[in-house]
């Protein structure tokens, strides 16, 4: 099968997923081509990338380059069996280029974006409507987002597709789990290497510095933690926001270090991972932490519900998107300890978040119970091969449906034809 992936500027979850899915499909013998934004293609080491993504036309001569790229991209998409796009920008790119192609290949869309009502503009609604009419299948990280598009064929009910697993999980599960003493020792070495003051066990935050990640909540919580601890955030992003967080975090003695390549080193030195996001589209960092047996404090938002909560349980919290699109749950609870490998709280409540962090730091029995359940949950997730096989099933069904529609269309009598 000839599969073309289209990806714009990518987050950690989008980039690692596209890289994993593409390489796994290629290993199964399929012809996989990728049209991707250049910096993301380089960052995630994507293979077989076509240099057809639009470059910013800062100079007039680049306009001709972009036109040539778009024509070549249109030819690539037209000659594909299936087109799989990732993210809204990639969806717009593919929709425009295939608009006037007769018998266009099936288009499958994976969404990663936060469903932010503040961004619900007329043009965004129009894009969703267009996507709804054109796409064979839409899968997303938000039930409310795909319900808004109102697709019967949404893949959100298919766990292996809607619940994507970090391709790093399988490897991390092969490593041994570190106990608290070993983690404290690793943190002491890291603190010395980074020239950071070691005030106690490492409480870690990881993610891009952007508004949706709400690292200001992390700082507020660390101000209230009553057990010896050191707060560190790994990630880069908006320079202005990062500068403000560094200034704000200095009072709480939270260090914002920027990006570090070896995340495993930090995950194996931390005692707690704290996720304060308004939304988590895929939760790859949470998955990787749980694979290493690192307990988490987080709110059950986005895919963190599937990662951290028992089946059939929703947290009764205004922050989380808990009961949406008619989703049925067996019960609701506000007990933080219900979290698998985690304590689940409303992270907008700084006091509750601080108490959860303190509980894990100060109570070895709770910490080890959460470590064990985190690792056990990670071992139950689909493998990258299983996820790729699920997507192949969707590709084939979409292609079969497209062929049926084409056949029926060709059998419709034209004006003046004999019936």
Reported as a single tens digit per residue, the pLDDT across 270-304 is 999 999 998 887 789 999 999 999 999 999 988 89
pLDDT in the model for residue 5: 97
Spatial contact of 136 and 401, defined as CB atoms under 8 Å apart:
yes
DSSP labels, 119-181 = G--HHHHHHHHHHHHH-SEEEES-HHHHHHHT-TT-GGG-HHHHS---TTHHHHTTSPPP-HH
DSSP code, position 50: E
The percent of residues in the chain predicted with pLDDT above 90, rounded, is 51
Domains of the chain listed by start with CATH number: 2-165+383-400 (3.40.50.2000), 169-378 (3.40.50.2000)
Reported as a single tens digit per residue, the pLDDT across 372-404 is 999 999 999 888 898 899 899 999 999 888 776
pTM: 0.77
Reported as a single tens digit per residue, the pLDDT across 75-85 is 999 999 999 99
DSSP labels, 357-403 = HHHHHH-HHHHHHHHHHHHHHHTTSPPHHHHHHHHHHHHHHHHHHHH
- Residues in the chain, pLDDT under 50: 117-118, 142-160, 316-333, 412-419
| Integer Rg of the chain from CA | 23
- Taking alpha carbons only, the member of 410, 391, 386, 405 closest to residue 1 is 391
Euclidean distance between CA atoms 28 and 5, whole angstroms = 16
pLDDT in the model for residue 277: 92
pLDDT in the model for residue 314: 54
């Amino acid at each position: 099968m000839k599969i073309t992936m289209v990806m714009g500027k990518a987050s950690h979850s989008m980039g690692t997923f596209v890289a994993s899915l593409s390489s796994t499909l290629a290993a199964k013998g399929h012809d996989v081509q990728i049209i991707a934004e250049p910096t993301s293609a380089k960052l995630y080491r994507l293979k077989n990338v076509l240099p057809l993504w639009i470059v910013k036309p800062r100079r007039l001569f680049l306009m001709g380059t972009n036109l040539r790229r778009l024509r070549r991209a249109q030819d690539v998409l037209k000659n594909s069996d299936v087109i799989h796009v990732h993210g809204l920008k990639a969806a717009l790119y593919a929709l425009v280029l295939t608009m006037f192609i007769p018998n266009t290949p099936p288009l499958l869309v994976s969404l990663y974006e936060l469903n932010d009502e503040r961004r619900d503009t007329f043009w965004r609604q129009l894009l969703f409507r267009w996507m709804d009419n054109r796409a064979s299948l839409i899968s997303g990280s938000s039930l409310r987002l795909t319900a808004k598009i109102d697709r019967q064929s949404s893949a959100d009910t298919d766990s292996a597709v809607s619940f994507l697993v970090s391709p790093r999980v399988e490897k991390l599960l092969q490593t041994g789990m570190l106990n608290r003493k070993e983690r404290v020792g690793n943190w002491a070495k890291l603190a010395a290497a980074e020239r950071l003051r070691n005030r106690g066990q490492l409480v870690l935050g990881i993610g891009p510095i952007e508004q949706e990640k709400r690292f200001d909540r992390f700082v507020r919580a660390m101000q209230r933690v009553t057990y010896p601890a050191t707060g560190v955030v790994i990630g880069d992003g908006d320079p202005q926001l990062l500068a403000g967080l560094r200034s704000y975090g200095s009072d709480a003695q939270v260090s914002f270090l920027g990006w570090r390549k070896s995340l495993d080193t930090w995950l194996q030195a931390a005692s707690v991972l704290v996720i304060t996001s308004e939304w988590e589209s895929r939760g790859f960092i949470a998955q990787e932490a749980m694979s290493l047996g690192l307990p988490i404090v987080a709110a059950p938002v986005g895919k963190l519900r599937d990662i951290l909560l028992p089946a059939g349980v929703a947290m009764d919290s205004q922050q989380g998107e808990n009961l949406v699109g008619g989703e049925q749950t067996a019960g609701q609870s506000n007990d933080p300890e219900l979290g698998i490998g985690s304590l689940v709280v409303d992270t907008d409540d700084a006091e509750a978040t601080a108490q959860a962090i303190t509980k894990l730091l100060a109570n070895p029995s709770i910490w080890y119970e959460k470590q064990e359940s985190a690792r056990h949950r990670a071992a139950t997730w689909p493998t990258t091969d299983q996820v790729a096989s699920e997507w192949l099933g969707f590709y084939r069904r979409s292609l079969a449906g497209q062929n049926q529609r084409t056949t029926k269309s060709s059998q419709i009598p034209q004006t003046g034809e004999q019936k």
